[in-house]
Structure 1
Amino acid sequence: MNQKVNKKHEILKASMKIFALKGYHNTKIEDIAIEAGIGKGTVYQYFESKIQLFEEMVLYYIESYKEEIVEIIDENISLEEKLLKVANKNSKHVAEHFDMAEKIDVRENIISNEMKSKMLRKKEEIFSILECAIDQAIENGEVRNDLDKEVVISTFFGAVNVYCAGRYQRNNTMKAYVDPTPVVMFLMRALNK
């Protein structure tokens, strides 16, 4: 990775930490620069504004997450094992980014409609990756062949996210791991023949 791309990634990683800590409105570019170990002016060499940095950070995060999902789905393991690994990855992501989700009020319309469309396309890419895994599981006879894959995937992500987020809130265990295995086991019972 060249130095310019690496510097941009460092800024994006620092921004994730600072936006999570302070929220969008309380974050200053200066805070991100300090976290990244660079000058404020360097941030502006890569990003024109705080909103552009925020939106690119969101896309960077989603793309990184997607790459992790692809690695799991490409493994030569059963659908159940893949879903467990994805659920575990999701649980860790919920823990790591729960603070940011709580601090950024979606009603504030910080994110542009164009950005929302990009995020939706990324979500569809992730769903498509999981659809392929379900198709393979159907072909291998691991699960029923009459499944509505969109319902399965939506249920999977929704259940894992709500289960983990609920545990974090109830137990005040931010940054702690919540085991999503019960959710995956429940879902697999519904998918089996």
Structure 2
Amino acid sequence: MKSEHLFLPPKKQAVFKAVIAFLDKGLAPDSLKVSEIAAEAGIGKGTVYEYFSSKEEIITQTLVYELEMTAEEIQVMIQSAGSFEEVIRKLLDWIEENYERKTSFMRLLQLMERMDELPESIRRELKRQGHSPCDINHYLLRLAKRGQETEELSADIPCSMLASSILAALVMYLSYLNFPDGYGRMERESAKDYVWESIRAICGKKP
């Protein structure tokens, strides 16, 4: 099945890609101007408003678009994995490879416990559209269920608790990538081993 994103109007896709390009450069979402977004997208400012009613709507739809595109990429990766451990290790590799890009997946991971860092106007628009940074829980719950299906995670622990533990482990690895010196100069592979062992110790089947 082809992604529904392939059928978006080209100009709307251009707007999404323009916003992502600005965010990848480290610009804050609320600092962007519609005129700048339009110029980066190669279309007129008036054309932008044919698809969006406000800057906040542009930003939030872009975040959701990028998150869903990333989720599709990760889903393909998960399906190609065998064990749940392999899934987690592939996900950690993916996070490392994409760390510099600061994709929405990782932006939202880091915002899960720091919602106050997301501009209020963007939070209101997310809520209006029926979305939230916590939408990422949906994907974490699917990961948790996968771990139960492979019997590497305990079936006695609710999926919601497993998802929270997986999130904590992923955020820990992001913290390591942000401040490697704070972890005693631990090598990246050792850090990944520690993340997996932490998940298994907390969420794994008990003897």
Interval containing the TM-score (normalised by the shorter chain): 0.7 to 0.9
Separation (CA, whole Å) in 1 of partners of 2:179 and 2:40: 27
Q: Does 1:37 align with 2:49?
A: no
Q: Does 1:187 align with 2:187?
A: no
Tell me by how many angstroms 1:150 deviates.
2.4
Q: Does 1:14 align with 2:25?
A: no
Separation (CA, whole Å) in 1 of partners of 2:49 and 2:179: 36
- CA separation of 1:169 and 1:39: change in aligned 2, threshold 3 A: farther
Separation (CA, whole Å) in 1 of partners of 2:179 and 2:21: 20
Separation (CA, whole Å) in 1 of partners of 2:141 and 2:132: 14
Tell me by how many angstroms 1:80 deviates.
0.5
> Contact between 1:91 and 1:160, CA under 8 Å: does it hold in 2?
no
3-state DSSP class of the match of 1:45? coil
Letter in 1 for 2:100: A
Please name the residue that 1:66 is paired with: 71
What RMSD, in angstroms, separates the aligned Cα atoms of the two structures? 3.2
> Contact between 2:19 and 2:62, CA under 8 Å: does it hold in 1?
yes
- CA deviations on 1:67-108 (whole Å, 9 max, x unpaired) are 223223323511111111223333445532289779x96364
> Contact between 1:83 and 1:184, CA under 8 Å: does it hold in 2?
yes
Separation (CA, whole Å) in 1 of partners of 2:22 and 2:66: 14
Q: Does 1:125 align with 2:129?
A: no
Overall identity of the aligned pairs, in %: 24
- CA deviations on 1:20-67 (whole Å, 9 max, x unpaired) are 532133211122222223232222222121111011011112212222
Separation (CA, whole Å) in 2 of partners of 1:93 and 1:151: 27
Higher percent of residues as helix: 1
- CA separation of 1:122 and 1:6: change in aligned 2, threshold 3 A: farther
Question: Per chain length, whose mean CA-contact separation is higher, i.e. which structure has more relative contact order (CA < 8 Å, sep 6+)?
Answer: 1
Please name the residue that 2:184 is paired with: none
3-state DSSP class of the match of 1:118? coil
Q: Does 1:109 align with 2:120?
A: yes
- CA separation of 1:78 and 1:148: change in aligned 2, threshold 3 A: same
Tell me by how many angstroms 1:165 deviates.
3.4
Give 5+ residue unaligned stretches, structure 1: 172-177
Please name the residue that 1:175 is paired with: none
Letter in 1 for 2:35: E
Please name the residue that 1:134 is paired with: 147
TM-score (norm 1): 0.74
- CA separation of 1:76 and 1:153: change in aligned 2, threshold 3 A: same
Letter in 2 for 1:89: W
> Contact between 2:78 and 2:87, CA under 8 Å: does it hold in 1?
yes
- CA separation of 1:54 and 1:81: change in aligned 2, threshold 3 A: same
Separation (CA, whole Å) in 2 of partners of 1:7 and 1:145: 46
Matches within 5 A, 1:52-63: 52-63=57-68
Tell me by how many angstroms 1:114 deviates.
6.2
TM-score (norm 2): 0.70
Please name the residue that 1:174 is paired with: none
- CA separation of 1:111 and 1:90: change in aligned 2, threshold 3 A: same
